[in-house]
Amino acid sequence: MTVDRPSIISCLRRIRLLDGVRHVSRRQCLSTAPPAKDYRSRLRKLNDRLPRFLRSYTTPLLGAPVTHITSFLILHEVTAIVPLLGLVAAFHYGDWMPDLAADDSNGAFNEGVARFGRWLRKKGWIDDDAAVGATNVAHISSSNQTGEKASIREQRGVHLVLEFATAYAITKALLPLRIATSVWATPWFARVVVHPLTSRAGRIFGRK
């Protein structure tokens, strides 16, 4: 039985084509995993925003392993969120908080009033009048209109905005301590938390 040479060549081409399709499909399946976030770029942006005296703590991390960079960024967020919420709870249930609005140069407090006024209004926890009232408190001079400021502060929604703004200003003032704590705890957090979690996730997704 004889087989035409063109038929053999055609069959070989089909086999190669099918084999190529299989390889392409395999590469496509492997590439469907979502790309990892550029943690190093995030750390570089954070490092550029920090005061010069704090960069000595964070600059060495730019060349550290990704697990260490991830650990530092997580700890940096934790050291911001935990004090913020803890101070808000203490002010709210302790019925006392420092009057940072008395300091006209406190830009962090004014920034907190604007930021959390918008956020709380968006969540529906305060109305527009409360947000405006908190802004007015932030701009009233304590030496001349103490009575007016006190009356506005007593409004429920206004008081909530001021609690968040005060906690935000204090948390921001603690930035040097937060950075030092995050850098100090980074190796331990990477070894105990981040590395085991990433290894386990790699094994789970590697089976699929």
Task: Let me know if residue 128 belongs to a domain.
Answer: yes
Sequence-ordered list of residues with C-beta below 8 angstroms from that of 106, at least 6 positions apart, any chain: 100, 169
Alpha helices in 31-155, H assignment, sequence order: 39-49, 55-58, 66-94, 107-123, 128-139, 146-153
> In this structure, is residue 58 part of a structural domain?
no
Judge whether 137 lies within some domain. Answer: yes
Question: Does some domain include residue 23?
Answer: no
pLDDT at residue number 153 = 57
Q: What is the pLDDT of residue 151?
A: 55
Q: What is the pLDDT of residue 196?
A: 86
The verdict on residue 125 lying in a domain is yes
Q: Model-level pTM? A: 0.72
Question: Is residue 4 in some structural domain?
Answer: no
Question: How high is the mean pLDDT in each 10-residue block of the chain (208 residues)?
Answer: 49 47 41 53 90 89 89 95 96 87 74 92 86 75 50 72 94 95 94 86 65
Residue 190 CA to residue 110 CA, distance in Å, equals 36
Domain that holds residue 136: 71-181
144 exposure class (CB count in 10 Å sphere: 0-12, 13-18, 19+): exposed
Q: Is residue 143 in some structural domain?
A: yes
Q: How many structural domains are present in the chain?
A: 1
Please check whether residue 188 lies inside any domain of the structure. no
